[in-house]
Structure 1
Amino acid sequence: MDQDVVKIIDENVNQIEGLIQQKVEIWQEHVVFSPLWWMGVGLSIIPWIIWYVYHKKDSTDRLLYSGYAVMIMALILDVLGDQLALWHYRYNVLPILPTYLPWDLTLMPVAIMFLLQIKPNVNPLIKAVLFALITSYLAEPFFVWLEVYQPVHWHYTYSVPFQIIIYLIAHYVSKRNDFSEIH
């Protein structure tokens, strides 16, 4: 193995570790227990409680499969966007994750799960477009206004096709019934 490459990689890792430690210190001193941090904690918990009370109980598994799929897609895309410097977040609930967990693990999946169960016979493309327009042109600007989300090299319109695809995949997952019993 080329020792110069190993040295460069190790130096880079050390720099990253130092920046993560600095980020944790900033979070501890300025973010945790701030009003926007508490909002993030509330947005991480309250929508799930509302979903638990109001979801169609006979569709719990189907909705959760879709919700988990949404979480995975949202987390992957959010990490990629952050790492590629397309956007970043302030007031994270947890300091070492480069995503806004309330959005990825609660708001998106819960909103989509509710949309899946409301008027299930409506064309999924219509629902997907509606979801994409609301999240891209209302939710994202709202979080920018709160100064939680900062698009750097990103425009709200770029989010629309991603949101449509995420919704359509969740819809597809919700319609699967090809499960065999575990023996």
Structure 2
Amino acid sequence: MEEKVYEIYKLIIDANSKMSYLWKAEMLFKWRWWLLVILTITPWLLWIKFKRKESTYRLLLVGVIIMLITSYLDFIGVILGAWHYNWKVVPIIPGYIPWDFSLFPVFIMFLLQYKAKISPFIKALVFSSLSTFVFEPFFRYLKIYCADNWKSIYSFPIYIIIYLFADFLVKRDEFEKI
């Protein structure tokens, strides 16, 4: 069995080597690559400028949890062949990093702090609708994201649950001083 695992491992190493070559030859410094770099950095710069200072650490904690959840779900989707990403910011990290480590958590953190009195269900519907019916199709159109065996409508309830979970976490009063 160890030999079979090693053979598969060698295939992964070979695939990563080919992806790194492709990245350097055909992705690096192209307009889609620049777009992903901008989409990775700009949300955080905007968040730093417009965040509520008194909620910084609570929001960041929720943001990190959202990063973990979304990147794990993306990992599963990519591994199972439901979707893939054609472009990477860096060849040795997954292509979904701009989404899961920047766009999703920052978008959610902004929604959480903006108009806090609005129902979280309405905000969840806004977040899910924009993510499902605007952003996913737009990035498919740009050929950055490809839904291979996935329909956008499947994402809709998942995004609602992610947002409602973030809202639940950010409103907890269980934080105590150390």
TM-score, with structure 2 as normaliser: 0.96
User: Please, which moves more after superposition, 147-156 or 126-135?
Assistant: 126-135
1:139 aligned partner, one-letter code: F
Q: Distance in 2 between matches of 1:89 and 1:135?
A: 16
2:104 aligned partner, one-letter code: M
Q: Distance in 2 between matches of 1:79 and 1:95?
A: 16
2:165 aligned partner, one-letter code: I
Q: Distance in 2 between matches of 1:84 and 1:95?
A: 20
Q: Could you tell me which residue of structure 2 aligns to residue 46 of structure 1? A: 42
Give SS of 1:38's match. Answer: helix
Q: Distance in 1 between matches of 2:165 and 2:76?
A: 19
Which residue among 154, 160, 165 is the counterpart of 1:158?
154
What is the Cα deviation at residue 180 of structure 1? 3.1
- % same residue: 39
Q: Could you tell me which residue of structure 2 aligns to residue 174 of structure 1? A: 170
The answer for unaligned runs of 5 or more in structure 2 is none
Q: Distance in 1 between matches of 2:46 and 2:177?
A: 31
Residue 102 (1) aligns with residue 98 (2): yes
What is the Cα deviation at residue 99 of structure 1? 3.4
Correspondence 1:1-183 to 2 at 5 A:
5-182=1-178
Task: Give the number of the structure whose alpha-carbon radius of gyration is greater.
Answer: 1
Q: Distance in 2 between matches of 1:120 and 1:89?
A: 34
Matched residues, number? 178
Deviating beyond 6 angstroms after TM superposition, the runs of 4 or more aligned structure 1 residues are none
- Asked whether the 8 Å contact 2:71–2:100 carries over to 1, the reply is yes
What is the Cα deviation at residue 56 of structure 1? 1.0
What value does the CA root-mean-square deviation take over the aligned residues? 1.1
1:5-26 per-residue CA deviation (whole Å, 9 max, x = no partner) reads 1111111111111111111110
